[in-house]
Copies of this chain bind each other. A is one copy, B any other.
Amino acid sequence: MDVNKILKSNKPLALESKTIIHLMLVHQSISEHTTEALKPFDVSIQQFNVLRILKGQNGKAANLSTLNDRMVSKMSNTTRLVDKLILKDFVKRTVCEENRRKIEIFITKKGKEELLKMSNAMLVMEKELLKDVDTEDLITLNKLLDKLNTDK
């Protein structure tokens, strides 16, 4: 991906601006490839993320706030995201008995099985996307991304 070709700017862009655009373009590509990889499973990236988080709980329930904190996007979606996953029988939702304001969400057996298939499809896509980046470069890339000041 050559960011200069896409931008075709005559005026030289600040290195910072170029980097940000570069990251945006990379994200767009990742997003498209991910959507494609998940299409056979009829789930969105967000739904996949919810399943992955729930599996990471190892049987423990997660409530909506927890999901939301760990997720990339915003609260208002989370209720409806979970609604969709319930329809597919990938997760279960129960009211927390200790604190009836809270909702506990679990991944189902079917959800776990499907998630495994999804994760495999994702890994194939990820390896293809990163096939020209060796391990050392990946480590460097992650280190550099860690340096970004992403606080609010």
Q: Is the interface of A mostly helix, strand, loop or mixed?
A: helix
A138 touching B15, Cβ below 8 Å: yes
Q: A7-B70, A17-B122, A20-B126 are in contact. List 11 more A-B contacts (CB 8 A).
A: A14-B123, A16-B123, A18-B142, A22-B141, A26-B148, A28-B72, A28-B73, A130-B149, A137-B147, A140-B140, A141-B141
Per-residue 0/1 for A29-41: is the Cβ within 8 Å of any B Cβ (1 yes, 0 no)?
1101010000000
A140 touching B144, Cβ below 8 Å: yes
Name 13 A/B residue pairs within 8 A (Cβ), A-sorted: A1-B148, A6-B70, A15-B135, A16-B126, A17-B122, A17-B123, A23-B145, A24-B27, A26-B145, A129-B148, A129-B150, A140-B144, A144-B144
